[in-house]
Amino acid sequence: MTQRERLTRRTALVSLAAAAAVAPRPAEAQLLSIRSQRCSTDMAPTVMPNETVQLRPPRIEPRIGDIVVFEQAWEFDGRVHFYMKRIVALAGDRVAFSDGRPILNGNAATSTFVGSEDLRFECEGRSVFPDLRRFSERLAGRTYDTYFDPTDTFSSGRPRHGREMAEIRVPPGHVFVVGDCRDRSEDSRQHGPIPESVIRRRAVAILWSRDRNRLGLALE
């Protein structure tokens, strides 16, 4: 094989790998990173819209606080999509929500107010969610930041969903997942716990961001 043929083959392989990385549902073996949807804010402030996240295989036994990537058919189109959420309860746990904060086996997560800030991102132009409340939340030994919207309704006028949830027990082989931007995430509070079998990866770091200060930020 000539040097030119080797170079052409190498270029083709790199192009194929890049194409697989951005495909809507890449093969499991190729799922090394994933980009947050540019209009998705459900995992902010941990993962911001349009950031690329490094992935690793899921743990044999999931842990509370892990950010996992999984496949579910939660959209109106009925098709299976990838989602990224945080585990807040494991199989056999009792979980409830009060004012958007989890109560695990009767113990409420501790939440400390950090400050107010605007969430700005690119979505069909420039978008902003003003004056979100940022909290540091600690649950089962894991600490992470969350966002809450001080308003009581969505822009559509519908009441906030998921702030309050009666206690349920997570069934065997399932986990309970939520977004860190609690008022702008649809998750297990609406759709129920997810099977552990649909978890494909866990998120470990920020690979790319418009904010250079966030490059390499560890997520666990």
CB 84 within 8 A of CB 53: yes
Here the CATH number for the domain that contains residue 196 is 2.10.109.10
Q: What is the mean pLDDT of the chain?
A: 82
**pLDDT tens, 88-109?**
999 999 999 999 999 999 999 9
Domain that holds residue 5: 1-28
DSSP string, 130-188: EEEEEEEEEETTEEEEEEE-SSSB-TTSPBP-SS-EEEEEPPTTEEEEE-SBGGG--SH
Q: Is the pLDDT of residue 37 over 80?
A: no
Locate 127 and state its tokens.
Answer: 């978008």
How many other C-beta atoms can be found within 10 angstroms of the C-beta atom of residue 188?
Answer: 24
What domain count does the chain have?
A: 2
Q: How confident is the model at residue 128 (pLDDT cuts 50, 70, 90)?
A: confident
Query: Does residue 89 share a domain with residue 76?
Result: yes
Query: Does residue 40 share a domain with residue 97?
Result: yes
Query: Does residue 120 share a domain with residue 21?
Result: no
| Residues listed for the chain | 220
Q: What is the pLDDT of residue 124?
A: 64
Q: Is the pLDDT of residue 76 over 90?
A: no
Helix (H, G, I), strand (E, B) or coil at 106: coil
Query: Does residue 81 share a domain with residue 21?
Result: no
Q: What is the pLDDT of residue 30?
A: 59
Locate 14 and state its tokens.
Answer: 């790199």
CB 195 within 8 A of CB 213: no
- What letter would DSSP give residue 123? S
Q: What is the pLDDT of residue 84?
A: 96
Query: Does residue 67 share a domain with residue 125?
Result: yes
Q: Is the pLDDT of residue 194 over 90?
A: yes
Q: Is the pLDDT of residue 118 over 60?
A: yes
Q: Is the pLDDT of residue 208 over 70?
A: yes
Q: What is the pLDDT of residue 92?
A: 98
Identify the sign of the CA torsion 166, 192, 137, 43: negative
Query: Does residue 172 share a domain with residue 121?
Result: yes
Query: Does residue 73 share a domain with residue 175?
Result: yes
User: What type of residue sits at position 163?
Assistant: R
Query: Does residue 148 share a domain with residue 61?
Result: yes
Locate 102 and state its tokens.
Answer: 């989890």
Query: Does residue 76 share a domain with residue 8?
Result: no
**pLDDT tens, 150-185?**
875 444 444 456 789 999 999 999 999 999 999 989
